[in-house]
Amino acid sequence: MPKVQLVDVAHARSGDKGDTANVGVAVYDPRDWELVRGALTPERVREHFGPLVKGEVERFELPNLHALNFLLHGALGGGGTVSLMTDAQGKVLSTALLRMELEVPAEVAERVRGRGRVPPGFDPGVAVDG
């Protein structure tokens, strides 16, 4: 099966509580919910982060939002004020998760590839219209 990255099918936001980071992941298209729900087991997420997460990974489901929430314990170098990390509050840990590779059916790969990235030719110097 072809591979895509999680960034192609989901968006995410992360935050902190002490030394624990949370990463919330929501799919763009409800059609991909079961796929993401099945692929992102706590074990798989734990393995993906490797040494970036010292403790356990907990997972919670929000089917109403087609979203998952992960708690990454011991991910912030001691937390907010203690941490020496640039990302001491885990603000962009969400994007590290979005690097994860997923095997998906060909028609899904075709549909989602590039979804989460700026389109070719995007010029950040030009204002967008509402």
Partner 1 sequence: MDQTEAMGRMIRIGSGQGFWGDDLEAPVRQVEEGPLDYLMLDYLAEVTMSIMQKQRQRDPEAGFARDFPPLMERIFARCIEQGIRVVTNAGGVNPPGCGEALVEAGRAAGVGGRARIGVVTGDDLMDRLDALIEGGHELRHMETGEPLAAIRERVQSANAYIGAAPIVRALEEGADVIVTGRSTDTALTYAPMMHEFGWDADDHDRIAQGVVAGHINECGAQASGGNALVDWWTVPAMEQVGFPVIEAHEDGSFVVTKHPGSGGRVTRAIVTEQLLYEMGDPREYITPDVVADFTSLALDEVGPDRVRVSGVRGSARTDFLKVSIAYADGYKAVGTLVYAWPDAAAKARAAERILRARLDRLGLAFDEIRVELVGWDSTHGHLAGPPPPDLPEVQLRIGVRSGDRGAVERFTREIAPLVLTGPPSVTGFAGGRPRVQEIMAFWPALLRRDEVEPHLNVRILEV
3-state secondary structure of 109: helix
Instruction: Assess 82 for contact with partner 1 (CB under 8 A).
Output: yes
Instruction: Assess 72 for contact with partner 1 (CB under 8 A).
Output: no
Instruction: Assess 9 for contact with partner 1 (CB under 8 A).
Output: no
Instruction: Assess 67 for contact with partner 1 (CB under 8 A).
Output: yes
DSSP string over 27-71? ESSGGGHHHHHHH--HHHHHHHHGGG--S-EEEEEEGGGTEEEEE
User: What sign for the dihedral angle of Cα 50, 52, 56, 61?
Assistant: negative
Give the residue, chosen from 106, 118, 120, 125, that forms a contact with partner 1 under the rule CB under 8 A: 118
Per CB under 8 A, residues contacting partner 1 are: 11-20, 22, 24-26, 28, 48-52, 60-65, 67, 69, 71, 77-82, 84-87, 89, 92-96, 99, 116, 118-119, 122, 124, 127-130
